[in-house]
Amino acid sequence: MSAPLKRRFREQIAVMFGREPVKPLEISSGAQKIHVFKKGNKDFIAEKLHARAHANPSHRWRNRRWITLILTNLLFVVSFHFDVQILEGALTASRFIGFHLIDLNSALQVMLAHKHIIVNLLIGTGTVLFLWILLGGRTFCSWVCPYHLLAEWAEKLHLWLVQKKLVTDQTIDRRLRSVFWIIFALLAVVTGYTVFEAISPVGIVSRALIYGPGLALLWVLALLVFEVFFSKRAWCRYACPIGLTYGVVGIISPLRIKYKLEGCFHEGDCRKVCLVPHVLDTVIKGRAVDTEVPIGPDCTRCGLCVDACPTGSLSFEVKGLSKLM
């Protein structure tokens, strides 16, 4: 890995914890040549306009993701109601064909509340940890989490209201998510109770789908109303400690989205659809530190940017292997 990419990697981790992206201090010679070529080049501008006019974004990855998310959560429902014992429990703690699966953040909360390491929880988290190391931690958010899908649909309504100038989108300091992570951890230690699990919309929605709705869904509804009328995807971006926990896991994941500078026309369509647009600051003209830059660990691997890119400059790749189709 080149020196600029190493610095970029450290910057991506800082961004995951809430720091705003900054302009790079060092850019590789290869990337500099491409940046200079693009600056004021009439042929490049003509190609950009052509690509813009003929852009035909697909929904391939979005559709795959929605199908995977819905089927995963339906499998919980079917297993419970028909007692087929395939995927038992809920997203916070479950068992898949005999293998115990425990959400990493939930296990951490429980051990902090009990103030000691629980061996059975470690066994259950081992399988989950291995899975999300392979797939990228925040893949859980966009490919499995049921609240994420509700928030994604709520975002569409929010954007429509913004377009009609009925509401404005309010941004919040992203460092707040790290603060909430610490607060919920301290609450578990001090109270001996997993406070976060009681209000987590992920667990609430998962349990409601499987066992039936309860009053806790009013809290989920309140969050969605807040996101529709005030700040899109506020819970996922600014509050949810699960996303931060899985983001840390995703630091070493081999599966990532890679950005290729040469073919990019810097249209910005990818950042418009991105669920966490701060991870795509490298696509801004003049920001890429190398000719190829992996997107950081806070990326949810949702694939919306891959679908939106008119030139294929963003793609899913496994580190060391060719890109995924």
Q: Residue range 218-242: average pLDDT?
A: 96
pLDDT of residue 147: 97
CA distance 299 to 295: 7
CA distance 45 to 131: 43
pLDDT of residue 78: 94
Q: Residue range 235-254: average pLDDT?
A: 93
Q: Mean pLDDT in the chain?
A: 90
Q: Examine the pLDDT at 229 and tell me if it is beyond 70.
A: yes
How many other CB atoms are there within 10 angstroms of residue 34's CB atom?
Answer: 20
Contact of 314 with 270, CB cutoff 8 Å: yes
Q: Examine the pLDDT at 299 and tell me if it is beyond 80.
A: yes
CB half-sphere exposure, 236, CA atoms < 13 A: 27
Q: Residue range 306-313: average pLDDT?
A: 90
Listed by start position, the domains of the chain span 3-54+254-298, 61-248
Token pair belonging to 188: 């578990």
Contact of 240 with 181, CB cutoff 8 Å: no
Encode pLDDT of 16-49 as tens digits.
999 999 888 889 999 998 888 877 666 666 666 6
Under the banding of pLDDT at 50, 70 and 90, the label for residue 1 is low
Encode pLDDT of 270-285 as tens digits.
999 999 999 999 999 8
Encode pLDDT of 117-146 as tens digits.
877 778 888 889 999 999 988 999 999 999
**Helix (H, G, I), strand (E, B), or coil: what is residue 316?**
strand
Q: What is the DSSP string of 43-71?
A: HHHHHHHHHHHT-----HHHHHHHHHHHH
Q: Examine the pLDDT at 201 and tell me if it is beyond 70.
A: yes
Q: Residue range 81-96: average pLDDT?
A: 88
Q: Examine the pLDDT at 322 and tell me if it is beyond 70.
A: no
CA distance 32 to 10: 21
How many residues does the structure list for the chain? 325
